[in-house]
Structure 1
Amino acid sequence: MFARADRMIAELAAGEQRWAQTTLPQRVALLAEVHAAVAAQAEAWATTASRIKGLDADSPLGGEEWISGPYPLLTAAATLQQSLTRISRGTSPLAGARFGRAPGGRVTVRVLPHTAHEALLLHGFTAEVWMPPGVTADTVRSRAGLAELHPERTGGIGLVLGAGNITSIPPLDVLYELVAHNRVVLLKLNPVLEAMLPVYQAALAPLIEHGVLRILTGDGILGGYLAHHPGIVHVHITGSAATHDVVVYGAGPAGAERRAGGSPLLAKPITSELGGVAPIIVLPGNWSRRDLRYQAEHVATQRLHNGGYNCIAGQVVVLSRDWAQKDAFLVELRAAIGRTPARPAWYPGSDGRVAKAAAAYPGAERLGDGGRLLVVVGAGDPSAITATETFSPVLGVIELPGTGAEFLHAAVETVNRDFLGTLGANIIAEPRTIKSLGAGFREAVARLRYGTIAINTWTGLGFLTAAAPWGAYPGHTIDDVQSGIGIVHNALLIDSPERTVVSGPFRPFPHSVLHGEFALFPKPPWFVTSRSGAATGRLLSRFAAHPSWLRMPRVFASAFRA
Structure 2
Amino acid sequence: MGTTFDETEIDSALSDLIAGEKAWAQTSLRRRRELLDEIHTRTGRFAADWVRAARTWKGLDEDSPLVGEEWISGPMTLLQATAALSATLTALEQGRSPLDGRALTAAPGGRVAVPILPLDVYDRLLLSGFRGEVWLRPGVDADTARRRAGLAQLDPTATAGIGAILGAGNITSIPPLDALYELYAHNRVVALKLNPITDPLFTVLEMIFAPLIELGVLRILTGGVDTGGYLVRHPDVAHVHMTGSAHTHDAIVWGPGPAGQERKSDKRPLLDKPITSELGGVSPTIVVPGEWSDADLRFQAEHVATQRLHNGGYNCVATQAVVLSANWPQKEKFLAELRTAIDKAPQRPAYYPGSDNRVADAAAAYPDAQRLGPGQRRLLVENLPQTETPLLRTEYFAPVLGVVELPHGGGEFLQHAVDFANTELTGTLGVNVIAHPSTIKRLGVAFDDAIERLRYGAIAVNAWTALAFLAPRASWGAYPGHTIDDVQSGIGVVHNAFLLDDVERTVVSGPFRPAPRSLVHGELALSPKPPWFITNATAAATGRKLTEFYASGNPARLPGVFVSAFRG
Q: Are 1:414 and 2:404 an aligned pair?
A: no
In structure 2, C-alpha distance between the alignment counterparts of 1:422 and 1:290, rounded to whole Å:
31
Structure 1 residue 403: Cα displacement: 1.5
Residues 140 and 502 in structure 2, CA contact (< 8 A), matched pair in contact too: no
In structure 2, C-alpha distance between the alignment counterparts of 1:500 and 1:14, rounded to whole Å:
37
Residues 113 and 126 in structure 1, CA contact (< 8 A), matched pair in contact too: yes
Correspondence 1:145-224 to 2 at 5 A: 145-224=150-229
In structure 2, C-alpha distance between the alignment counterparts of 1:206 and 1:541, rounded to whole Å:
21
Offset from partner CA, 1:132-176 (integer Å, 9 cap, x none): 112101110110000000001111110000000110000000000
Instruction: Let me know the Cα RMSD of the aligned residues.
Output: 0.9
Q: Are 1:58 and 2:53 an aligned pair?
A: no
In structure 2, C-alpha distance between the alignment counterparts of 1:10 and 1:58, rounded to whole Å:
44
Report how many residues are paired: 562
Residues 431 and 456 in structure 2, CA contact (< 8 A), matched pair in contact too: yes
In structure 2, C-alpha distance between the alignment counterparts of 1:283 and 1:77, rounded to whole Å:
37
- Per the alignment, residue 498 of structure 2 pairs with 492
Q: 3-state SS of the aligned residue for 1:276?
A: coil
Residues 277 and 419 in structure 1, CA contact (< 8 A), matched pair in contact too: yes
1:457 to 448, 457, 463: 463
Residues 57 and 534 in structure 1, CA contact (< 8 A), matched pair in contact too: no
In structure 2, C-alpha distance between the alignment counterparts of 1:346 and 1:495, rounded to whole Å:
37
- Per the alignment, residue 134 of structure 1 pairs with 139
Structure 1 residue 338: Cα displacement: 1.1
- Per the alignment, residue 530 of structure 1 pairs with 536
Q: Look up the equivalent residue of 1:473 and give its one-letter code.
A: Y
Q: Look up the equivalent residue of 1:508 and give its one-letter code.
A: P
Structure 1 residue 381: Cα displacement: 6.0
- Per the alignment, residue 29 of structure 1 pairs with 34
Residues 189 and 218 in structure 2, CA contact (< 8 A), matched pair in contact too: yes
Q: 3-state SS of the aligned residue for 2:46?
A: helix
Q: Look up the equivalent residue of 2:432 and give its one-letter code.
A: N
Residues 114 and 467 in structure 1, CA contact (< 8 A), matched pair in contact too: no
Q: 3-state SS of the aligned residue for 2:66?
A: helix
Cα distance change of structure 1 residues 386 and 475 upon mapping to structure 2, 3 Å threshold: same
- Per the alignment, residue 482 of structure 1 pairs with 488
TM-score normalized by the length of structure 1: 0.99
Residues 73 and 168 in structure 1, CA contact (< 8 A), matched pair in contact too: yes
- Per the alignment, residue 278 of structure 1 pairs with 283
Q: Which moved more, 1:426-435 or 1:111-120?
A: 111-120
Correspondence 1:308-323 to 2 at 5 A: 308-323=313-328
Structure 1 residue 180: Cα displacement: 0.4
In structure 1, C-alpha distance between the alignment counterparts of 2:554 and 2:448, rounded to whole Å:
36
Correspondence 1:31-430 to 2 at 5 A: 31-369=36-374, 370-378=376-384, 383-430=389-436
Q: Which moved more, 1:371-380 or 1:209-218?
A: 371-380
TM-score normalized by the length of structure 2: 0.98
Q: 3-state SS of the aligned residue for 2:524?
A: coil
Q: Look up the equivalent residue of 2:267 and give its one-letter code.
A: G
In structure 1, C-alpha distance between the alignment counterparts of 2:132 and 2:384, rounded to whole Å:
34
In structure 2, C-alpha distance between the alignment counterparts of 1:373 and 1:535, rounded to whole Å:
30
Q: Among all aligned residue pairs of Structure 1 and Structure 2, give the percentage whose two residues are the same amino acid.
A: 60
In structure 2, C-alpha distance between the alignment counterparts of 1:43 and 1:292, rounded to whole Å:
36
In structure 1, C-alpha distance between the alignment counterparts of 2:45 and 2:432, rounded to whole Å:
35
In structure 2, C-alpha distance between the alignment counterparts of 1:155 and 1:465, rounded to whole Å:
27
Q: Are 1:17 and 2:22 an aligned pair?
A: yes
Structure 1 residue 377: Cα displacement: 2.5
Q: 3-state SS of the aligned residue for 2:358?
A: helix
Listed as ranges, the gaps of 5+ residues in structure 2 are 1-5
- Per the alignment, residue 3 of structure 2 pairs with none
Offset from partner CA, 1:252-279 (integer Å, 9 cap, x none): 1111110111110111100000000000
- Per the alignment, residue 545 of structure 1 pairs with 551
In structure 1, C-alpha distance between the alignment counterparts of 2:479 and 2:381, rounded to whole Å:
27
Q: Look up the equivalent residue of 1:501 and give its one-letter code.
A: V
Q: 3-state SS of the aligned residue for 2:253?
A: helix
- Per the alignment, residue 473 of structure 1 pairs with 479
Residues 386 and 404 in structure 2, CA contact (< 8 A), matched pair in contact too: no
Structure 1 residue 26: Cα displacement: 0.5
Structure 1 residue 522: Cα displacement: 0.2
Structure 1 residue 302: Cα displacement: 0.1
Residues 532 and 539 in structure 2, CA contact (< 8 A), matched pair in contact too: yes
Listed as ranges, the gaps of 5+ residues in structure 1 are none
Q: Look up the equivalent residue of 1:446 and give its one-letter code.
A: E
Offset from partner CA, 1:297-331 (integer Å, 9 cap, x none): 00000000000000010110000000000000000
Structure 1 residue 114: Cα displacement: 2.1
Residues 353 and 390 in structure 1, CA contact (< 8 A), matched pair in contact too: yes
Structure 1 residue 58: Cα displacement: 2.4
In structure 2, C-alpha distance between the alignment counterparts of 1:83 and 1:222, rounded to whole Å:
35
**Which aligned segments of 4 or more residues in structure 1 are displaced greater than 4 angstroms?**
378-382
